[in-house]
A and B are shown apart, each in its own frame.
Chain A
Amino acid sequence: MAITRERRSTSFYILAAFFTLFVLFLYGPMLTIFILSFQGENGGLTFPMNGFSFHWFGNLFEQQAVGDFGGSFTRSLKLGLIVMVVTVVVSFMAGLAFRKRFRGDSVIFYLAIASLIVPSILISLGIGLLFNIIEWQPQWFTSALGAHLTWTFPFGLLIMFAVFNRFDPSYEEAARDLGASNWQTIQYVVLPMVGPSLIGVAMFSFTLSYDEFARTLMTAGALNTLPLEIYGMTTNVTTPVLYALGTVTTGFSFLVIGIALGSVMILRRRKGQKA
């Protein structure tokens, strides 16, 4: 570093200041609700802080104060995990398929792009109507699951494209020359190499599903997922319990990011040791 250092130009400092402001803009509001969620028992939705307490966090777990936080959180967690597993497996398969041209490959590609740009509320409306017409009851694990997959598959597929475009096929050739079967090649050569990216796909799909609101609106059926519950709260809860909820779910999201980054780092290190 020190060897190649030239003097920084003025534009560097201007841009660095701009970047700092941008980061403040991103994190500032989140920080305020984090602080305000520790508001005292008599405190309100804005500053000043009226003491310091965990009152609102306790409130979170009382049904009458906020509705069904525990139930909706569990549902969102389960749904996110199902979406995650399905997206990782299906995107990986599709990524493998796309390494060769096949009839209809561009149809699938454009469907994925369409899935990304069609407004979420249309997916919600369409699936809701479909279930209405064929008289199926929408459920979070059927219609909402499908709605979420239309959102996570495009991301999964695009990430797999990016991975396989940079993937050197000679490793597979070597494995096959050594007599590995197709499945063994995938298991021992391809999977370890694309593993970190698959963790990326997993994190993407889990958090996209866990936070998804619009696509769940008409597809969740009788039981709310967490974002629907939070949305309901914004219209009828006027205490800092809203912020406590925000702090808890944001903390949970950070935990997920941490786990994902941690596993990528462990995978990388293990690969480094083997090499």
Chain B
Amino acid sequence: MAFDTSKRSSYFLITPMAAIFAVFLVIPLLTIVIVSFWDYDEYRILPDFILENYSYLLGSSVTWKIYLNTLKYAALTWVFTLSIGFTVAYFLAFHVRSLTWQIVLFMLCTIPFWTSNIIRMISWIPFLGRNGLLNSALINLGIVDQPLEFLLFSDFAVVLADVHLYTLFMVVPIFNSMMRIDRSLIEAARDAGASGFETLKSVIVPLSKPGIAIGSIFVITVVMGDFITVRLMSGGQSASVGLQISNEIGLLQYPAAAASAVVLLITVLLIVTGLLRLVDIRKEL
């Protein structure tokens, strides 16, 4: 390395970040774990060591239903974001030929990411509502004669909003992986007689795996922990694990919320560990 400064300077430079992570990430997570064993009444939380929060949570059939529902949202969102994200990234990386156009079109995809998620959810209302654009169009075209009720405030709306919000999380890492594929490999495949589809299947997809894995981690963890999309887009008719936690917070049942949070954290970590076996993140930067 160029600098021959001592290791001390590394420690000095990393201290602020380490301190913030310690105070606002590690200690709060430990607090959650500790409080999940506490007792509570209507007014306060009481230090204790009880297992009721967990036994109640895991013994309730509602919990399992909510987990199943959340996993359903995660799975559907994952399938759609992956297929759309992969296609978009593939188009940008292999079919757009000039770098300037690649950058311009890529920016076009990323700009909405910088705007408010809540506003982006709200923006579906005039489109999907009972008297919304889509229903009017369908009625005018004579495809349906009654407005479709399932468009807004339904599972459909939740998944649609999730896909709308998070497809970018797939596009970016997959595009990044694709841009690193050596173009001569593709030529070699073509010279060896592979069709476009065969090249895609046996060269591009395998080499894009790290991007796919990173995108999947992002999308799945975000949807697993989400509560605001579910609340806004299902109109309070569906539940997710995050929503359950936020409801318990609203009722000041902090130990119950903490126990749900611990279970959610374990679930998310298991999923991520599984996906990390496919990719070494540090090598991808």
Contacts and interface: CB of A to CB of B under 8 A. Distances in A.
Interface of A: 1, 4, 9, 11-12, 15-16, 18-19, 22-23, 25-30, 32-33, 36, 45-47, 89-91, 93-94, 96-100, 102, 104-105, 108-109, 111-115, 117-123, 125-130, 132-133, 146-147, 149-150, 153, 157-158, 161-162, 165, 169-170, 172-173, 176, 182, 203, 207, 211, 213-214, 217-218, 227, 230-231, 234, 242-243, 245-246, 249-250, 253-254, 256-257
A122 B29 contact: yes
A139 B28 CA distance: 16
B50 interface: no
B227 A125 contact: no
A129 B31 contact: yes
A243 B118 CA distance: 11
A91 B17 contact: yes
B126 A45 contact: yes
Given A118-B29, A122-B225, A29 B232 contact: no
A111 B21 contact: yes
Nearest to B91: A15
B164 A146 contact: no
A230 B24 contact: no
B43 interface: no
B131 interface: yes
Contacts of A213: 117-118, 228
A19 B91 contact: yes
Contacts of B120: 29-30
A interface SS class: helix
Contact of B116 (A102, A108, A246): A246
B135 to A, nearest CB: 9
Contacts of A203: 114
Contacts of B31: 126, 129-130, 133
Contacts of A112: 17, 21
Given A150-B20, A176-B2, A218-B249, A94 B13 contact: yes
A155 B4 CA distance: 28
Nearest to A189: B2
A250 B116 contact: yes
B141 interface: no
Interface string B196-233: 10000000000000000000011001101111100010
A54 to B, nearest CB: 19
Contacts of B136: 47
A5 to B, nearest CB: 8
Interface string B15-46: 01110110111111101100100000000010
A252 B206 CA distance: 41
A16 B20 contact: no
A108 B257 CA distance: 28
Contacts of A12: 95
Nearest to A186: B3
B246 A230 contact: no
B25 A115 contact: yes
Interface stretch (B54-62, B82-90, B183-191): B82-90
B118 A150 contact: no
B interface SS class: helix
A207 B257 CA distance: 29
A16 B91 contact: yes
B116 A29 contact: no
22 contacts: A26-B164, A47-B131, A93-B16, A97-B14, A99-B3, A112-B17, A119-B242, A119-B264, A123-B25, A125-B258, A126-B261, A132-B254, A182-B5, A211-B114, A214-B227, A214-B242, A227-B116, A230-B119, A250-B119, A253-B116, A254-B114, A256-B114
Contact of A146 (B7, B14, B20, B111): B20
Contact of A96 (B13, B35, B218, B242): B13
Contacts of A242: 122
Contacts of B261: 121-122, 125-126
Given A11-B95, A150-B20, 16 more contacts: A9-B196, A28-B127, A32-B123, A90-B17, A93-B13, A117-B221, A118-B265, A119-B268, A120-B225, A122-B264, A150-B25, A162-B285, A173-B2, A207-B114, A213-B118, A217-B249
A129 B123 contact: no
Contacts of B97: 1, 4
Contacts of B95: 11-12, 15-16
A28 B134 CA distance: 12
Contacts of B179: none
A196 to B, nearest CB: 13
Given A18-B91, A23-B109, A122 B122 contact: no
A117 B217 contact: yes
B67 interface: no
B241 to A, nearest CB: 8
B140 interface: no
Contacts of B98: 1
Given A125-B261, A150-B24, A231 B118 contact: yes
Contacts of B131: 46-47
Given A93-B17, A117-B272, A211 B117 contact: yes
